[in-house]
Chains A and B, each alone.
Chain A
Amino acid sequence: MAHNRVIQWGAMARTWWLYDAKFQCPYRSAEKLCMYLEGRHKPLYHPLSDVGDHVVVINTRYVAMAEDLWRKQQYKHDTRYAGGKSSATAWRLHEADYTKILYKAVYSAAPKNLLRPTIMRRLHLYPEEDVPDDIIGNVSDVIRQIQVVPKPLDSYSAQEIEEFPKLFDWPEDHVIYKRKATTEKKEES
């Protein structure tokens, strides 16, 4: 008795997803996150009904921007008072608030209608990996990252670098131009 009722409950329940934003493009991630927030990943989706899921995003501090967008991307704000216009580059905005870039990216990717505030309230952004217990306790699944996370050169040990297969080695008398480190310059000046 009433088994169909719980199946209905299961179909309409909101799932909580986790997304790791480490080394991910915020704009392309936002498109994917919006799919989950709007509920476009469910076959029963309808643009007027509120069937979206919750998404918890961690590591928003370490989002990656293509090319030199950190310097070139402008975020504008207007207070609607005289002289109230202001703009900030992406890196400045990111310094002020580590979740702001991804928030704005999702906000602009979300549908421009009255459901947008509701959708945004279901997005939980955290700059680091420490998420409150009552939030992380709800999460049941993970959204796949859109980019492969690169392994930085620092993380390779000296032995690994040595063992890396080489096609050829430079002759001993070959001079390679090395740019001096900036810290050394400062010390000199």
Chain B
Amino acid sequence: MAALQCVRSLSKVRYNVLHKFSAAVMVVENKSVRRYSTSHQLVGKSSNSRQHLSYLYELYHRRIEVGPEKERHPSEYGCWNHDAEIYAFGQRFGEDFNDMVLKEAFVQRCFVEQEIEKQKDLGLDMEIDMTDNEILAEKGYSLASRFIKAYLRYSFPQLFEEGISAIHDFLLSDEMLFHIGCNIGLKELIQSATYPPEHPTYVTTLKAVIGALIESQNEKKAEDFVLDLIIPQLVGIDVSELWNIENPMGLLCALLKEQNLGEPEARLLWSSASNTIMPLHHVGIYSDKKLLGKSPGETISIAEDMAAREAIKKLLNMTDNRSPLELGDKAKNLELDFNKTNRSVSELNCS
């Protein structure tokens, strides 16, 4: 009897362990199964640690062969209340969203199409009461764009329009919006045909959330949302590097001429290791015997170019020691002029 009990318990252990990894074994091709055919005999055969170790090795290699598990939406695990999650999303920002509108902001076009096809497959002729978020996204984008440009014109009044639009493009680029969308927890809320959602869907959803805020409350609230989420991305970034000036020396000449200052004069301040392959030249730009900007460079022409950029930065009040951007509660009541535009470089050259 004792021997019989032992055999039973053995088979029980074998069954349990194999059951756990049955999914893994099924995916593996026939060849691999044959290769590992002896391994299941190790399971529970004895308490010898050497055999247990080789069993663990076996499992480890099988896991590698099968590969990582597919990423699944939390709803597939059974505990998911979409309405509650969307309500919580709004509450996390301290905003009063209209739940229906906010729900709409997360619905992608591909999701609606998928739902319609599902119904067709089932043979139902019911109309689906679902609209995608594209209209909201358009609304949100136009508001964000308008507000960001006005804010930048207010913060950098002397910067040219080209520079303003370069910073604006940086803030509203797909990568930047994707980065923001990733970090405010859009991933699980987005309703799209695929999971995890593709990168462009994050971008449209973030825009649509801004649009939903306009619909549920007002434009002022949506602007504050943009001010709190998108504009702080400029912190720690060299704003003047975002705008690539093509001909800095020409622009500097025109700027100085406009301000009735003398023509720029580049002088070599000092150079080191000039006969080696890693030379260093410091060039300063003077106007009326006053130093406007200086910069190092590996050749004299590069250093001159960079020094001209420094001089332009100084003339446009964009130096590194300027006061920081106004953000947070301070910036809530700024008097922004939405109709004002800064002058462009072409205007300067004409005059």
Complex Cα gap A96–B318 (Å):
61
Contact size range, A:
20 to 34
Q: Which of B293-314 contact A (CB under 8 A)?
A: 295-298, 302-303, 306, 309-310
Whether A177 sits at the interface, judged by CB under 8 Å, is no
Query: What residue of chain A has the Cβ atom nearest to residue B310's Cβ?
Result: A3
Quote the shortest CB–CB distance from A80 to chain B (angstroms). 37
Interface string of A152-175 (1 = CB under 8 A from B): 000000000000000000000000
Complex Cα gap A139–B241 (Å):
32
Instruction: Report A-chain residues with C-beta under 8 Å of the C-beta of B270.
Output: 140
Cβ-defined partner of B280 (8 Å) among A4, A10, A137: A10
Whether B282 sits at the interface, judged by CB under 8 Å, is yes
Q: Which of B169-219 contact A (CB under 8 A)?
A: none
Q: Given that A3-B309, A138-B274 are contacting pairs, would A13 and B280 also be in contact in the complex, using a CB cutoff of 8 Å?
A: yes
Whether B316 sits at the interface, judged by CB under 8 Å, is no
**A140 contacts B271, C-beta separation under 8 Å:** yes
Complex Cα gap A140–B297 (Å):
15
Known: A9-B280, A138-B274. 18 other contacts (CB 8 A): A1-B243, A1-B245, A3-B240, A3-B241, A3-B309, A4-B241, A6-B295, A6-B296, A6-B302, A6-B303, A6-B306, A9-B297, A9-B298, A10-B296, A13-B280, A14-B272, A134-B275, A140-B272
Using a CB–CB cutoff of 8 Å, the interface residues on chain B facing chain A are: 238, 240-241, 243-245, 270-276, 278-280, 282, 295-298, 302-303, 306, 309-310
Quote the shortest CB–CB distance from B6 to chain A (angstroms). 62
Q: Given that A3-B310, A4-B241 are contacting pairs, would A10 and B282 also be in contact in the complex, using a CB cutoff of 8 Å?
A: yes
Closest 10 CB pairs of A and B: A10-B296, A140-B272, A13-B280, A1-B244, A134-B275, A138-B273, A15-B272, A137-B275, A6-B297, A6-B306
Using a CB–CB cutoff of 8 Å, the interface residues on chain A facing chain B are: 1-4, 6-7, 9-10, 13-16, 54, 134-135, 137-141
Cross-chain pairs A/B with CB under 8 angstroms, 13 sampled: A2-B241, A3-B306, A4-B241, A6-B303, A7-B295, A7-B296, A13-B273, A13-B278, A13-B280, A54-B273, A138-B274, A138-B276, A140-B273
**A138 contacts B275, C-beta separation under 8 Å:** yes
What secondary structure prevails in chain A residues at the interface with B? mixed
Complex Cα gap A54–B245 (Å):
36
Q: Given that A6-B295, A10-B296, A140-B270 are contacting pairs, would A1 and B241 also be in contact in the complex, using a CB cutoff of 8 Å?
A: yes
Instruction: Report B-chain residues with C-beta under 8 Å of the C-beta of A135.
Output: 275
Complex Cα gap A2–B248 (Å):
13
Complex Cα gap A7–B282 (Å):
10
Instruction: Report A-chain residues with C-beta under 8 Å of the C-beta of B298.
Output: 6, 9
Complex Cα gap A3–B297 (Å):
9
Quote the shortest CB–CB distance from B267 to chain A (angstroms). 15
Quote the shortest CB–CB distance from A166 to chain B (angstroms). 48
Query: What residue of chain B has the Cβ atom nearest to residue A13's Cβ?
Result: B280
